[in-house]
Amino acid sequence: MTYFRHAAIAAALLAGVGSASAQTTVITRAPVETQVVVPARPLELTPVQRQTIYRTIVREPVQPAPPTVEYRIGTRVPAGATLYAVPQDVAVEVPAVRNYTYMRVNGRVVLVDPATSEVVAEFSD
């Protein structure tokens, strides 16, 4: 008799555990046209990091971009603009800029997000 009582209690407990773990979670996403795009945080660099980036990149042998377009933070660079990978020296010193590209315009260095083609920072002497 005691055996059946223990078996009944164990079965009841196991049935309760099974129903609790049977719950499902439904995750829905808003349609693409209503999703809000959150801009990335601004690139925060110290004056020493900014100076390191500028001084290293201006020594790189690259063609300056034509000054026909005004490049400011938040603007997109034209599709035909030649962008260069950030030099390894800079990526080691300032890891925050490792994934960006750059171009030189009018003695300035313009850092560009390759995913969006937007200017994220600019450096000058």
25 domain residue, yes or no: no
CATH classification of the domain holding 51: 3.10.450.160
* Model pLDDT, residue 100: 93
Say how many domains are in the chain.
1
Helix locations, the chain, DSSP H? 2-21, 47-57, 88-93
> Which residue, among 79, 67, 72, 66, has the nearest Cα to 114 in the 3D structure?
79
81 domain residue, yes or no: yes
36 domain residue, yes or no: no
> Which residue, among 42, 59, 60, 26, has the nearest Cα to 122 in the 3D structure?
42
31 domain residue, yes or no: no
* Model pLDDT, residue 111: 93
Residue by residue, pLDDT tens for the chain (125 residues) are 565 566 566 565 555 555 545 566 666 665 555 444 444 556 788 999 999 899 988 888 888 887 777 888 888 988 888 999 999 988 999 999 999 999 998 888 999 999 999 999 988 88
Q: Judge contact between 100 and 112, C-beta under 8 A.
A: yes
Q: Which residue matches tokens 């809000």?
A: 36
List the domain range (segments joined by +) for residue 94: 47-123
67 domain residue, yes or no: yes
